[in-house]
Amino acid sequence: MKSALPKVLHKLAGRSLIQHVLDAAAPLAAARTIVVTGHGAEQVEAAVAACGALFARQLPQLGTGHAVQQAVPAMADEPGTTLILNGDVPLVRTETLRALLQACAGERLALLTVTLADATGYGRIVRSDAQGGQVCAIVEHKDASEKQRAIHEVYTGILAAPSAALKRWVMALQDNNAQREFYLTDIVAMAVAEGLVVTSAQASSETEVLGVNSPQQLAELERRHQAEIAKALMEAGVRLADPARLDVRGSLVCGRDVEIDVNCIFEGTVTLADNVKVGANCVIRAASIGAGAVIHSFTHIEEAKIGAGALVGPYARLRPGAVLGEEVHIGNFVEVKNATLGKGAKANHLAYLGDATVGERVNFGAGSITANYDGANKHRTVIGNDVHVGSNCVLVAPITLGDGATIGGGSTLSKDAPDGQLTVARAKQVNLPGWVRPRKLAR
């Protein structure tokens, strides 16, 4: 990867490669999970510690079989099935792993295979002409003959095996090969020699078993993954202006008649209700957007809730804790943070609403802000219903504007404004007759 970051911690669709693998395996409810680490072991172990896995270190790295050997002391002694996954193969599906475990059934060696148009670099599946084409060996590409390299069915690196047999096999591995490594694939010959059935399960697609070994491969796999997400969204009725220009880095749930323009990024869990329209170049993270809302271009939304019929943007920013009621308007270059806006409230241009409770039908003028921070603590602004705040006002929190209050443009308020009154707080205008503007000195 040519990076200081360990390969399995590079991200695909917003999650690390290894986290994808752990998440796919989690529904299988394994009795224990063992993560074998090597390069960057401390970083990897810290990143996935929350999953409750046991860790085994492989130092030095002497092949796939050697990696499994390091895990043997942590494996359970009781009978069971061991599933071996690769931390750099992120898109394997839980359903595929279930099928592999069923093929194993605790008594057979089961290999996950896939047929590739170009199998270069992969271990080839060699089947016996007798015994119904049972798998008899896996031959690594480096050690394969020309005839074997013509085989297109390959081993994906994922297998399931009876635990007791697997322990016995991996501890008997030898490094008699071109790379002087301990190949896990050599256990196939051991199983065959013992008369154990070697079976296989097929991956549903090439994409779910592709590994990552370079930034280019990571980018290619990202686009494959995003294309599958886009296809599923469109099959559910979502209109994407260009499926190739969409990134979902989490979960995107859409209602009916949702429209999404180009270059939009969705992170975390995002819900778009019926008839939501999202303009181009928006970034939306962990948000819920109500029916009929329109998110105009270049808007950033994070951990916010937007009511039905709201209009947001362009160039707006909703920070964590922003809650917009129905039909709220947030216009260009308006920022909202930890603030609730009631139905029909509007802040159409160049404004900041932070740590505020805003009532219904409020009009918050251009250039106006809530001054919520005193240099040490945050304070709250409360704005009642039907309040009109003129342009270029500063509301120094804590402060309350009563229902129906009008705040004259250019005012700086540090005291509460009463209900239904005009409040003005600005310096008196002074006109100086006879004043002469300074002139630039001649040089």
Q: What is the pLDDT of residues 149-181, one digit of tens each?
A: 999 999 999 999 999 999 999 999 999 887 899
> Quick one: 288 and 403 in the same domain?
yes
> Quick one: 248 and 154 in the same domain?
no
> Quick one: 156 and 272 in the same domain?
no
The active-site residue out of 20, 66, 225, 349 is 349
Residue 140 is predicted with a pLDDT of 84
Q: What number is the average pLDDT over the span 176-189?
A: 89
Residue 176 is predicted with a pLDDT of 87
pLDDT at 252 over 70: yes
Let me know if 349 is a catalytic residue. yes
The pLDDT tens digits of the residues spanning 312-359 come to 999 999 999 999 999 999 999 999 999 999 999 999 999 999 999 999
The Cα–Cα gap between 265 and 30 comes to: 34
pTM: 0.92
Among 158, 190, 209, residue at a domain's last position: 209
Among 165, 191, 209, residue at a domain's last position: 209
> Quick one: 16 and 158 in the same domain?
yes
Structural domain containing residue 200: 7-209
> Quick one: 269 and 399 in the same domain?
yes
> Quick one: 94 and 170 in the same domain?
yes
In a domain, 126, yes or no: yes
> Quick one: 179 and 282 in the same domain?
no
pLDDT at 133 over 80: no
> Quick one: 409 and 273 in the same domain?
yes
Q: How many domains would you assign to the chain? A: 2
The pLDDT tens digits of the residues spanning 259-284 come to 999 999 999 999 999 999 999 999 99
In a domain, 236, yes or no: no
Three state DSSP letters for the chain = CCCCCCHHHCEECCEEHHHHHHHHHHHHCCCCCEEEEECEHHHHHHHHHHHCCEEEECCCCCCHHHHHHHHHHHCCCCCCEEEECCCCCCCCCHHHHHHHHHHHCCCCEEEEEEECCCCCCCCEEEECCCHHHCEEEEECHHHCCHHHHCCCEEEEEEEEEEHHHHHHHHHCCCCCCCCCCCCHHHHHHHHHHCCCCEEEEECCCCHHHCCCCCHHHHHHHHHHHHHHHHHHHHHCCCEECCCCCEEEEEEEEECCCCEECCCEEEEEEEEECCCCEECCCCEEECCEECCCCEECCCCEEECCEECCCCEECCCCEECCCCEECCCCEEEEEEEEECCEECCCCEEEEEEEEECEEECCCCEECCCCEEECECCCCECCEEECCCCEECCCCEEECCEEECCCCEECCCCEECCCECCCCEECCCCCCCCCCCCCCCCCCCC
In a domain, 225, yes or no: no
In a domain, 437, yes or no: no
> Quick one: 145 and 250 in the same domain?
no
pLDDT at 132 over 80: no
> Quick one: 282 and 193 in the same domain?
no
Among 167, 194, 209, residue at a domain's last position: 209
pLDDT band for position 4 (50/70/90)? very high
> Quick one: 177 and 252 in the same domain?
no
In a domain, 108, yes or no: yes
In a domain, 443, yes or no: no
> Quick one: 85 and 147 in the same domain?
yes
Q: What is the CATH number of the domain that holds 418?
A: 2.160.10.10
Q: What is the CATH number of the domain that holds 117?
A: 3.90.550.10
Q: What number is the average pLDDT over the span 177-191?
A: 90
In a domain, 363, yes or no: yes
In a domain, 230, yes or no: no
Among residues 383, 407, 380, the alpha carbon closest in space to that of 396 is found at 380
Residue 442 is predicted with a pLDDT of 86
